[in-house]
Homo-oligomer: A and B are copies of this chain.
Amino acid sequence: MKEKIRELSIQLFATKGFKETSIQDIVDALNVTKGTFYYYFTTKEQLLMDIHLKYIDELLSKQEAIISDKNINCKEKLYKIVYLLIHDIKKEGLSAKVFFREMRNLNEQHLALIVPKRDHFRLNIQKVLDEGISNNEIRGDLPTDIVTFSILGMTNWSYFWFDPNGRRTDQEVSDVFIKVLLEGLEK
């Protein structure tokens, strides 16, 4: 039931917005009582935190698996991280929407748990770039903090335009992104 509440709430938060969705809306849609809701979550905000935590923890653990893979070089790691994020829109599009849009509705205590995880994900990308520079795979004349933001910009912005059921596949989009990033547009 906890998972059902979470899934249904992700749908409601993504379409109506967090503030616009009441606990009553959630329990009505599931045809259960408020008591059931309060058995699993103390508040609506705690449910939002639960959604945020699950979303970022899953991304982080997948990213860590890519980074620690000793059989691929840094460029391949970058590709896999880009693909992880674009593919994720297909799989977890609504959670992503809720993650990006509704973070400001978390209380300070909860934000203090989520923000370091977001930073961790970002710094992991920067680490891959720094490693790529020492390995001589990646040019060393650009500040990797800004380059990291350029990569995250491409991928995170995709949540606003990429339609997994549209004419471009997640594979195609990732391929173009990584070619732009690694090879550049110049002829």
Contacts and interface: CB of A to CB of B under 8 A. Distances in A.
A29 interface: no
Interface stretch (A31-39, A42-50, A149-157): A149-157
Interface in A77-126: 104
Nearest to A145: B168
A23 interface: no
A150 B154 contact: yes
Given A155-B153, A157-B152, A143 B181 contact: no
A6 to B, nearest CB: 23
Given A153-B156, A154-B153, A168-B146, A182 B186 contact: yes
Interface of A: 17, 19, 75, 104, 129, 132, 136-140, 142-143, 145-147, 149-150, 152-158, 161-162, 168, 172-173, 176-177, 179-187
